[in-house]
Structure 1
């Protein structure tokens, strides 16, 4: 019986471990310097916990920003919870790591994109622009001075 190494899943697990480690540092020490995160996640993931009005407003996926104001960051082995500000109304969210689609820190031009087998469109990841911010200020605001980010795409490693 032929067996093979599933490099795609191994990379996803390693990248999610990196996110966990970064968030654990932020939980312990706060955000250093100009670092901030754009995190896009699947709002339909069965373990995501967000307010009904947020899932109605952002069906499918949502991008949140951890920058100026966030509170109650709790990081676990499966995901993290955080309170973010939506138009001066704090909301607690729980986001499992396997619901994350992109994780970007534009302050250092770093980004991760989690490709799935359902992604049919081939995008050029070298010119990845982080999505517009959906929290941490007024809803629908965009972060000024956003830089391009280097994104690791697993598609180039697939046969």
Structure 2
């Protein structure tokens, strides 16, 4: 039988090195933020096509073919995707370097190198999802008549 108070151990957190704080506190928040931006861009791209229905109807009315319209929408999505990839590489590679050097190189001595395979995989996924996001709205535009496109609100 235990009498009296039992002492509960307290857990204290101390950050010995600012890079550890950066790696485990700040950078995960950036990943969440950039994930939100990516999802927001995909929704905006999809809504961008829907919001421009009247504009696209006007272009079709003055002679733009369905094929030209789809090419234009693909070019817009490609521009968003490629600019996102470039910005992601400009921001992501230095962040990867900081994390890798602070956690791997300083502890085990393994030198950092550009992660080409994961980078190519990420680029392919971003471009694929950018083009996938416009597939539905582009098909919807092709099925609609010019009058429907112009009168959409």
Fold match, TM over 0.5? no
Task: Tell me which protein shows more strand as a share of its residues.
Answer: 1
Q: Higher helix share goes to which structure?
A: 2
Which gives a bigger RCO, structure 1 or 2 (Cα 8 Å, sep 6+)? 2
Normalization by structure 1: what TM-score? 0.27
Structure number with larger C-alpha Rg: 2
